[in-house]
Structure 1
Amino acid sequence: MAQNSARQAGRHFLQIPGPTPVPDRILRALDRPVIDHRGPEFAKVTKRALEGIKTIFKTTNPVIIFTATGTGAWEAALTNTLSPGDRVLMVETGQFGTLWKKMAERMGLKPEFITTDWRHGADPKAIEAKLREDKNKEIKAVCVLHNETSTGALTPIAEIRKAIDAAGHPALFLVDTISSLASADYRHDEWGVDVSVGGAQKGLMLPPGMSFNAISDKALKASQTSKLPKSFFAWDDMLNMNKVGFFPYTPATLMIHGLVEGIEMLHEEGLDNVFARHKRLAEATRIAVKTWGLENLNKNAAQVSPTITAILLPEGHDADKFRALALETFNISYGASFGPYAGKYFRIGHLGDINDGTLLGALSITEMALSLAGVPHKKGGVQAAMDFITAAHADPKKAAAE
């Protein structure tokens, strides 16, 4: 047997920012016989899932579950609310903000793109300024990412809502929560979001293949006059069938069971505790990065992501080669880099069913990999992260304030 195909002992460290490792409890929930998706037993499970997911988005309005990844939910958000030729305001927060914009173009919409350096989240002031310039109120929607998965920037959604209101603009507010839902505080109703897009494979801890649209009354009204073509993603068919616990087509039945279990696990821990855990692990990661003398791709300290940290390598060091070396030597997967910074950074995901020990293991591997790859850095990043985590547990209130 070739040496490079030898078995690697122990667990694989999946430190990409999603899909995240699936907990045993959810694996057990998925491991069951398939039942009739038109029968009374499945209807009960569906209703539990539909009610439960509302508590994660923090909404009393309907949440639609699609058998699709987050990209499908992006499309559903646009096609159900807009018409051909509609102008939409979008922000280049990174790779995924750019992909959503490309989708809008392919669908016959006219995106206006606020460009950035990929090192900041969306700027409420820039959005407000663009909306004030739109004297005829032709912009029909504002689309932003709560958490830009490619760069690690968390946009203040409540402030964007205030900016839209300050401009006196009637545009719909569409938000991607794919890499923040169930990991960072998110409030669909309170923050006045019209469509929240979510995915199951990150904070909800499920395998890929399920996504969501949480919708407001305003969005539902817009869907009644939207002229973009829609069939699989049509809200009206879904809402009508969901009322009785079913779907207009065959859903991912076992994933529904997994979703119910994931929601239950989140509430057993307590959502505020979930958010605090993610903030603690994110801060520990940033402390390690700073101690190593490396740079966080995200430059805005007020917009740091609780779920992913993007780490720039010094000039002359290839991040893709670094990731390949770390995978082969230490059995760890990091997230790739994109766009103008392709090959210059790698991403550590710290979201989902992750605890202090798992993160410290990943950071220890990272420090070893930096040494093995010859990347200039200072020692002690892992120790600094350990010290922070220890102090955070000793004084949780102080850690929360920080």
Structure 2
Amino acid sequence: MSSQNPVFIPGPTNIPDELRRAIDLPTMDHRSSAFADMLHPALAGIKRVVKLRDGEAIIFPATGTGAWEAAVTNLLSPGDTVLAARHGMFSHRWIDLCRRQGFNVEVIETEWGLGAPAEALGAALSADKAHKIRAVLVTHNETATGVRSDVASVRKALDAAGHPALLLVDGVSSIASMDFRMDEWGVDAAITGSQKGFMLPAGLSIVALSRKAIAAMATSTSPRCFFDFKDMLKSNASGGFPYTPPVSLIAGLAHSIRMLEGEGLENVFARHYRIAEGVRRATRAWGLALCAKSPELYSDTVSAIVVPANVDSTRIVTHAAEKYQVAFSVGLGEVAGKVFRIGHLGSMSDVMALSGIATAEMAMVDLGLPIELGSGVAAAQEFYRTSTSNRQTRAA
């Protein structure tokens, strides 16, 4: 596949040339003060991105899955009960991880295409008079279905039930691309990775912790070593790492945050909304629908597009890769063969998105889908050329 073409998968995302240069570093002594000068800005920047004022940010050499495991093993003990909704492949995988770690998971089965059901979660919390549920797991952006969950509503359900459970949120495919308000939403652990909105290669798992979460570390008895928060926080305080750090990626993370803040976080979020809305308008012009059931659920980082019942969506992805050397994503789990996914997060512009829309359109026409060539491109073009600011975009 040509490295000249952008990818349209929901991670790893396209890496800007500026960031490639930032991670191209010679070997350095990671015990030196130079590393501390690199690490501390990265940790402080994570807190600004997730809007956390009083708490801690932690980086491990891993991916988002490592951040999942680190969060639950540092904050919970074997046998603890957690509450989660299963409404996509990544919420499913987090549930599976928790069960493998020895936690009891109460699962609320939810239709794929819907978000975390705040009302049902609230009812389960209200029924838990003994407060056996120690944590609620929420996938902010379900990458498999292109669905955004309302984290604030889940927090309201927790508060209405008067329940002390921790709120743990997977923001892997949302943080740094979509607005995330850790303090305002009462999130206790926010989880992400380097390869999505931060536009870096895979290799960093990122966790932000509230003070309540930090206090919960004192009672956790889950076994851990590599992912131990206490070891990491102790070492970080003096500018170090408890083992060899991924120096280049940490340097890249600090630089990525400078780029995001240079653009302005609100502008970053508006750009993602605008690009996503162009893809959504193209989808409607094709006569197709999104997997997400209603507009308030639409993700601004990935669109899962439902194909006609007689079409295997995997063929579209395979054909685009083989003929046009452009990468889209297949459907996963319950929507395998039913949707294909266009990732539009991280380093992405209107012009790049148009090339992806055009390629998807060509692939579908090649395979005989009843789509008029140019229809989706024209719909997206009309939106992009008239929508340039946050205000204009939201009003459109």
TM range (shorter): over 0.9
Corresponding residue of 2:292: 298
Q: Aligned residue for 2:239?
A: 245
Q: 1:158 aligns with which of 152, 155, 164?
A: 152
In structure 1, the residue matched to 2:376 is: 381
Secondary structure, in 3 states, of the residue corresponding to 2:10?
coil
Conserved in 1, the CA contact under 8 Å of 2:267 and 2:390?
no
Cα distance, 1:300 vs. partner? Answer: 2.2
Task: Give the letter aligned to residue 245 of structure 1.
Answer: G
Does the CA contact (< 8 Å) of 1:152 and 1:304 recur in 2?
Answer: yes
User: Deviations along 1:174-200, whole A, 9 cap, x unmatched?
Assistant: 000000010000011121101111111
Alignment-derived partner of residue 36 in structure 2: 43
Q: How does 1:82-121 map to 2 (within 5 A)?
A: 82-121=76-115
Equivalent pair of 2:2/2:325 in contact (CA under 8 Å)? no
Aligned to 2:13: 20
- Deviation by residue 1:95-145 (Cα, 9 ceiling, x = unmatched): 000000000000000111111121111121111111111121110000011
Q: Which runs of 5+ in 2 are unaligned?
A: none
2:249 aligned residue: 255
Structure 2: which amino acid aligns with 1:140? R
Stretch deviating more after TM superposition (271-280 or 123-132): 123-132
Question: For residue 177 of structure 1, what is the amino acid of its counterpart?
Answer: G
Residue 204 of structure 2 is matched in structure 1 by 210
Q: Report the residue type matching 2:267 in the other structure.
A: N
2:153 aligns to what SS in structure 1? helix
Aligned partner of residue 114 in structure 1, secondary structure: strand
Tell me the amino acid that sits aligned with residue 34 of structure 2: E
Q: 1:331 and 1:168, CA in 2 relative to 1: closer, same or farther beyond 3 A?
A: same
Match of 1:344 in 2: 338
**CA contact under 8 A between 1:93 and 1:122: conserved in structure 2?**
yes
After superposition, residues 161-180 of structure 1 pair within 5 angstroms as 161-180=155-174
1:230 corresponds, among 220, 224, 230, to: 224
- 1:139-180 per-residue CA deviation (whole Å, 9 max, x = no partner) reads 000001110011100011111111110111110000000000
Show CA shifts across 1:285-334 (max 9, x none): 01100110011111121111000000111111111121111111111111
Q: State the one-letter code of the partner of 1:277.
A: R
Normalising to structure 2: TM-score of the pair? 0.97
Question: Pairwise CA RMSD of aligned residues?
Answer: 1.2
In the TM superposition, 1:356-395 aligns within 5 A as: 356-379=350-373, 380-393=375-388
Taking the TM superposition and a 5 Å limit, the aligned residue runs for 1:276-315 are 276-315=270-309
- Distance in 2 (alpha carbons) for counterparts of 1:327 and 1:116: 32
CA-CA distance at 1:10 after TM superposition: 7.3
Partner in structure 1 of residue 329 of structure 2: 335
CA distance in 2, matches of 1:378, 1:98: 37
Distance 1:378 1:133, change over 3 A: farther
> How many angstroms apart in 1 are the aligned matches of 2:285 and 2:119?
33
Amino acid at match of 1:154: R
Per-residue deviation at 1:13? 3.0
Distance 2:113 2:46 in 1: 31
The CA deviation at 1:64 is 0.4
Residue ranges of structure 1 left out of the alignment (5+ in a row): 1-7
Instruction: State the shift of 1:400 in Å.
Output: 2.3
- Residue 148 (structure 1) aligned with residue 105 (structure 2): no
| SS at structure 2 position matched to 1:276 | helix
Q: Does the 8 Å contact 2:272/2:301 carry over to 1?
A: yes
Shift of 1:378: 4.1
Cα distance in 2 for residues equivalent to 1:378 and 1:301: 24
Return the alpha-carbon distance in structure 2 between the equivalents of residues 248 and 381 of structure 1. 51
Residue correspondences, number: 394
- Following TM superposition, the consecutive aligned residue runs of length 4 or more in structure 1 with deviations greater than 4 angstroms are none
Question: Residues 15-37 of structure 1, C-alpha deviation per residue, up to 9 Å, x if partnerless?
Answer: 00000011111100111101001
- Does 1:133 find its partner at 2:121? no
Q: Secondary structure at the match of 1:364?
A: helix
Query: C-alpha distance in 2, partners of 1:120/1:143?
Result: 16
TM-superposed deviation, 1:396: 4.8
Distance 1:350 1:234 in 2: 33
Contact kept? 1:294, 1:377, Cα under 8 Å: no
**326-335 or 376-385: bigger deviation:** 376-385
Kindly provide the CA deviation profile for residues 78-107 of structure 1, in whole angstroms up to 9, marking residues without a partner as x: 000111111100111200000000000000
Deviation at 1:12, TM superposition (A): 2.2
Mapped contact 1:313–1:375 kept (Cα < 8 A): no
Q: How big is each residue's C-alpha offset from its partner over 1:230-267, in whole Å with a ceiling of 9 and x where there is no partner? A: 11111111111111111101111110110111001001
SS at 1:52's partner residue?
Answer: helix
Question: Displacement, 1:58?
Answer: 1.1
Q: CA deviation at 1:401?
A: 3.5
Partner Cα separation in structure 1 for residue 29 and residue 339 of structure 2:
47
| Cα drift, residue 201 of structure 1 | 0.3
Provide TM-score, normalisation by structure 1. 0.96
- For 1:258 and 1:217, locate their aligned partners in 2 and report how far apart those are by CA, in whole Å: 27
Report if the CA contact (8 A) 1:314-1:376 is conserved.
no
The code of the aligned residue for 1:25 comes to E
Counterpart-to-counterpart distance in 2, 1:116 and 1:127 = 11
